[in-house]
Amino acid sequence: MPPQIVLASQSPRRKELLERFGFSVKAIPSQIAEVRQPDEPAEHYVKRLAREKTLSVVQRIRATQPDQALPQARVSRVTGKPEGEELRWVVGADTVVVLGAEVLEKPKDNLDAYDMLMNLSGREHLVITGFCIVDMKREKEGIQAVKTTVRFKTLSKNEVERYVARGESMDKAGAYAIQGVGSYLVESLAGSYDNVVGLPMCQVVQMLGEMGATDLVPY
C-alpha cells in the first residue's frame, strides 16, 4: 500500500501510534536544529519546531519528486489511476516536558537524565506536544499544541539510578518513557496518554478529518 501519511520524524513511537490507527506511514526524518530561542514559551517552541520539521520534509519531497508539487499526481494513461506514490499528508511533531518554569528536553547524558528524574520526583509536570499537518495537494496546514498533566511518585535515588541504567531515558523528553518501564514512575495522569508518548492521536485524527482526509480517518 502506498504511504498515506509521511511522518517528519525518526521516532518509532510516533510511527507506531499512527500505524495503530491503520495508517500506512513513511518516515522521513527532518534535519532541522532543535534549538529553543531565549525565553521562548514552551508551547510556542513545540509548535514552531513541529511546523519547521514538517515544512522541511515537504520541501525535501518536492525537491526529489517534482510531481508532488502539482495539484494532481501523474496519472497513468492505461489505468487512469495515479502512478507511483502520491505523498499528500505530512505530519511533524515535537514534545517537551515543563516543570515549573523549566523546559526539559532530551537528556544529554545519564547524569542529566538522573538530575531530570530526581527533579520530577513527587511533583506534577506538563507534557506539551506540538504537531503540524500539511496537505501538499491543497497547500494547507494546521498546527496545534496539546498538554497533559503528569504526576510522578516519590522516587528513591536507587530507583532513578536503576531506571537510567536501563537506557530508556536518552531519547525521551524529560528522560522517561511512559510506554515502557518508565510507566512505573507515573502516579497519575490527566489528559491524553498518547500525547505523553509523543503524538496526541485524538487531536491528530480530528485535524486530519477537518482538513479533508475523509478517506483516511476511521469515522
Q: What is the pLDDT of the chain when averaged over all its residues? A: 91
pLDDT exceeds cutoff 90 at 67: no
**Looking at residue 80, what is its pLDDT?**
43
Helix 157-165 / helix 110-120 crossing angle, nearest 10 deg: 140
- Given 39, 67, 94, 171, which residue is catalytic? 94
- Per-residue pLDDT at 217: 87
Average pLDDT over residues 67-88: 51
- What pLDDT is recorded for position 65? 72
Structural domains of the chain, with CATH:
5-210 (3.90.950.10)
Please state the separation of Cα 49 from the chain's center in Å: 10
Tell me which residue of 127, 133, 130, 126 sits closest to 145, measured CA to CA: 130
DSSP 8-state secondary structure symbol assigned to residue 80 = S
Q: Amino acid identity of 113?
A: A
Eight-state DSSP code of residue 33: -
pLDDT surpasses 60 at 74: no
pLDDT digits (tens, 9 = 90+) for 145-201: 999 999 999 999 999 999 999 999 999 999 999 999 999 999 999 999 999 999 999
CA-wise closest residue to 157 among 149, 145, 165: 165
* 94 catalytic per annotation: yes
Task: Using the predicted structure, report yes or no on whether residue 71 has a pLDDT greater than 80.
Answer: no
State the pLDDT at residue 218. Answer: 79
Q: 17-37: per-residue pLDDT in tens? A: 999 999 999 999 998 988 999
